Amino acid sequence: MRTNVKQKVQEGAAKRKGKAGKGLPRALAGVLNGSFLTREQVLANMSFILFVAALMLVYIGYGYYTERTVRELHRTDSELKELRSEYISVRSRLDQTEQQSQVAADIADMGLRESRVPPLRITLDNDEYRALNE
């Protein structure tokens, strides 16, 4: 009896192994030739299958959108770095030309000279100011 049970178990395992080996090529052939689409289960769930296909298309489109956005972000970042370096160079040139010694040298070329006398402050009372404006 013990050997009989062992034989049945081995036979069952062999049958299962044979079915699994034959079932996979059949399923693959059914997918490749399209016959699996005519089964009732597939036809009953066609709306869900179309929904999943639409989700896949949206996912692919979102991937392209994200890639384009990242590329644009890198381009904008490099443009920002370029503009920042240009700003720094223009700012340093402006600081250099605004220095008092540079202004004095530039106006000396025009025949002008820097005044050595400090400016005078003129103070007026309110009455004097009103008299001037009348």
Q: Which residue in the block uniquely carries the two structure tokens 């689409």?
A: 37
Residue 101 contacts residue 107 (beta carbons within 8 Å): no
Amino acid making up residue 80: L
Per-residue pLDDT of the chain (134 residues; tens, 9 = 90+): 566 766 766 776 666 555 545 677 877 787 777 776 677 777 788 888 899 999 999 999 999 999 999 999 999 999 999 999 999 999 999 999 888 888 888 888 888 888 889 989 988 888 888 888 87
Do residues 49 and 42 touch, judged by C-beta distance below 8 A?
Answer: yes
Residue with tokens 């160079």: 89
pLDDT of residue 124: 87
- On whether the pTM is more than 0.95, the answer is no
Place of tokens 């100011």: 129
| 50, two tokens | 């179309």
Percent of the chain as helix, strand, coil, to the nearest 5? 85, 0, 15
- Distance CA(52)–CA(59), nearest Å, equals 10
